[in-house]
Amino acid sequence: MNENGMNTCPLFIDGSWTDAGDVATEPVFNPSDGSVIARTPMCGETEVDSAVRAARAALPDWSATPVVDRARILFRYVHLLEENFEALSRLVTREHGKTLVEARGSVRRGIEVVEFACGAPTLLMGDSLEQIASGIDCDTIRQPVGVCAGITPFNFPAMVPMWMYPIAIVCGNTFVLKPSEKVPLTAIRLVELLHEAGLPSGVMNLVHGGVDVVNALCTHPDIDAVSFVGSSPVARHVYQTATAHGKRVQSAGGAKNYMIILPDADPAFTVDALIGSVYGCAGERCMAGSVAVAVEEAAQRVLPPLREALDEMKVGPTDREPAADMGPVVTRQHLDKVHGYIASGLADGASLYRDGRGVEVPQTPEGFYLGPTIFDDAATSMKIVREEIFGPVLSVIRTDSLDKGIEACNQSGFGNAAVLFTGDGKAARTFRNRVSAGMVGINVGVPAPMAFFPFTGWNGSFYGDLHMQGKEGFAFYTRQKVTMSRWA
Ligand code: NAD
């Protein structure tokens, strides 16, 4: 407890929970009612150094542990995660604000990464070929990279950390996790359960904080690899800093995901998909659709039923109101930022087709709420189209051809998701071929790949070479060694 009577989050270093000691703290909110539910210690180099030392000391034994034994711990972890599935989902809702249905979905996606990681004995296999020259055989093996760090954003408190550490650990690496200071509670529980599953001390470590911890992780001489997920400016900074310090880096950034709607798209289906994509998790998703390009009469077909459906949507406190379709955004500060974007859209001349400001939540008026918002007649020159808003705001651009839609999408500078709604296979094929984004949806509003596929952001949405999840995840957390043998 600190002076405000609030629990300050503990660190997990070398198998023990410890207090951060005398460091500044920041509040963790329940966004549904604006209350402070915990405090995050803003640690620095000292705490990072302790965690890295523990991870380095644990590395020789852990990397020498047979892969089946490492995987067996993850099998036990899956079991514990299932037992705690509902409690974990509620924790995600409590500190992030997304609905319980969304929280459950995100915890499920995270568990699927652990299940995938349990396949390590197969996924870590190398290649071999005998007699590549007279009397010479050749083979490859995959060995762990070493001490890895994971730095994560606020919007998926369980899923995004789970993109990283299960694969890193099963490959024989040790790990230091730094979750977002806005949502540290889920990460604490995830680490507790991992320890309960039997992971040896020092293999997984947890530190809390912000910029100072991130910079300490990116520059620490004893860290070998850094995985980052967050906004693009920070993703770029982490990539540049950590690579300059000799580390292997995968760094996923922000997004501005375009959804092109052709006139032949089924309106009812498209409206449902748009609602899920734009307003799911209150728009706080790197895969959220945030720009709709309506081709020819698609706007007339889709916008009126979309607005009608949004008028029926219940915005409310997701921690206590099961009927809430959409929750708050994460903090008051973030809400103010999203309001700033709405003001800028108005100033730039876009028309506010549905205004979510002033949404009333009488049960918990102190929560951080914004109702579903739509701008029509937006243009690529406007800030609301150029920048990531990360809230429940859709900007609609009207155009007269698929080509122009693709062109608009490709100039965004980002490259996470791009979506096309159509009934025309040829248009879908053209779109998939020409769009400059790593994850493409054809009549799928949120084309987020499952654990066994890589999460393939492009352009300003990703810095590095090997993405998270899938076989690329295994490639990132291992180094290949080629051996040529002659026993003449
Ligand atoms: P953020 O960039 O503010 O923070 C991410 C992490 O970086 C946090 O742990 C934070 O403590 C740290 N950080 C923040 N500012 C920093 C700075 N100046 N220097 C060093 N470290 C810093 O992101 P956020 O607001 O927590 O999360 C939302 C962002 O994450 C959105 O841009 C979203 O698109 C992105 N995101 C991307 C993906 C993806 O796969 N591409 C997935 C989820 C979220």
Domain ranges of the chain: 11-254+458-486, 257-442
**pLDDT score of 248:** 98
Radius of gyration for the chain, computed over Cα atoms and rounded to the nearest angstrom: 23
Q: Identify the three-state secondary structure at position 428.
A: helix
Backbone angles phi, psi at 463, to 5 degrees: -120, 120
Whole-number Å distance, alpha carbon 352 to ligand 1 midpoint, is: 28
Nearest CA to ligand 1 atom 9: 180
What confidence tens digit (pLDDT) does each residue in 145-196 have?
A: 999 999 999 999 999 999 999 999 999 999 999 999 999 999 999 999 999 9
- How many angstroms is it from 233 CA to the middle of ligand 1? 9
CA 153–ligand 1 middle distance (angstroms): 4
* Residue 396 pLDDT > 60: yes
What's the rounded Cα separation, in Å, for the pair 361 and 267?
30
Q: How far is the CA of 234 from the centre of ligand 1 (A)?
A: 6
Backbone phi, then psi, for 226, in 5-degree steps?
A: -130, 130
Residue whose entry in the numeric block shows the structure tokens 């730039």: 348
d(CA 237, CA 48): 19
Q: Is 390 left (phi over 0), alpha (psi -120 to 50) or beta?
A: left
pLDDT in tens, 370-395: 999 999 999 999 999 999 999 999 99
Atom 22, ligand 1: residue with shortest CA distance? 211
Atom of ligand 1 nearest to the CA of 231: 32
Q: What is the DSSP letter of 124?
A: T
pLDDT for 239 equals 98
pLDDT of residue 2: 47
Question: What is residue 326's DSSP assignment?
Answer: B
User: Which atom number of ligand 1 is nearest to the Cα of residue 151?
Assistant: 9
Classify domain 257-442 at the CATH topology level. Aldehyde Dehydrogenase; Chain A, domain 2 (3.40.309)
Q: Which atom of ligand 1 is nearest to the CA of 255?
A: 34
What percentage of the chain has pLDDT greater than the value 70?
Answer: 99
Answer whether 156's CB lies under 8 Å from 140's CB.
Answer: no
Q: Residue 344 pLDDT > 60, yes or no?
A: yes
Measured distance CA(242)–CA(236) in Å, rounded: 10
pTM for the whole structure: 0.97
Residue type, 205: N
Question: Distance, CA 343 to ligand 1 centroid (Å)?
Answer: 24
3-class secondary-structure state, position 187: helix
Contacts of 176 (CB under 8 A, 6+ apart): 48, 51, 52, 55, 147, 148, 149, 150, 205, 206, 207, 217, 223
Any idea of the CA torsion for 194, 198, 199, 200, to the nearest 10 degrees? 140
218 is annotated as an active-site residue:
no
Q: Which residue is closest in CA terms to ligand 1's atom 7?
A: 230
Mutate to test the pocket of ligand 1, among 25, 95, 155 (most ligand atoms within 8 A of CB): 155
| Closest CA to ligand 1's atom 19 | 211
- pLDDT bucket at 13, cuts 50 / 70 / 90: very high
Site residues for ligand 1, CB cut-off 6 Å: 151-156, 160, 178, 180-181, 210-211, 214, 229-231, 234, 237, 252-255, 286, 388, 390, 416, 455, 457, 461
> Which protein residue has the closest C-alpha to ligand 1 atom 24?
153
- For 79-138, how does the pLDDT look when each residue is reduced to its tens digit (9 = 90+)? 999 999 999 999 999 999 999 999 999 999 999 999 999 999 999 999 999 999 999 999
The distance of Cα 28 from the centroid of its chain, to the nearest Å, equals 19
- At residue 1, the pLDDT reads 45
pLDDT tens-digit series, residues 34-50:
999 999 999 999 999 99
Catalytic residue among 43, 171, 286, 409: 286
Buried b (16+ CB within 10 A) or exposed e, 12-50: bbbeeeeebeebebbebbbbbbbeebbbbbbbbeebbeb
Which pLDDT score is estimated for 7?
86
Indicate which residue's Cα is closest to atom 40 of ligand 1: 252
Q: How far is CA 180 from CA 100, 249, 439, in A?
A: 20, 18, 25
CA of 238 to the centre of ligand 1 (A): 10
Atom in ligand 1 nearest the alpha carbon of residue 179:
9
153 CA closest ligand 1 atom index: 26
- CA pair distance 91, 79, nearest whole angstrom: 18
Residue 195 and residue 223 in contact, taking contact as beta carbons nearer than 8 Å: no
Report the atom number in ligand 1 closest to the C-alpha of 215: 20
- The label of the residue with tokens 């995840």 reads 473
The backbone torsions φ and ψ at residue 261, rounded to the nearest 5 degrees and listed phi first, read -115, 115
Confidence band, pLDDT 50/70/90 cuts, at residue 6: low
Note the pLDDT of residue 488. 74
* Count of CA atoms in the C-beta half-sphere (13 A) of 118: 13
| 3-state helix/strand/coil string of 360-396 | CCCCCCCCCCCCCEEEECCCCCCHHHHCCCCCCEEEE
Q: How confident is the model at residue 440 (pLDDT cuts 50, 70, 90)?
A: very high
Task: Return the residue whose CA atom lies nearest to atom 34 of ligand 1.
Answer: 254
Ligand 1 mutation pick, 214, 450, 476, max ligand atoms within 8 A of CB: 214
pLDDT bucket at 318, cuts 50 / 70 / 90: very high
What's 11-254+458-486's CATH class? alpha beta
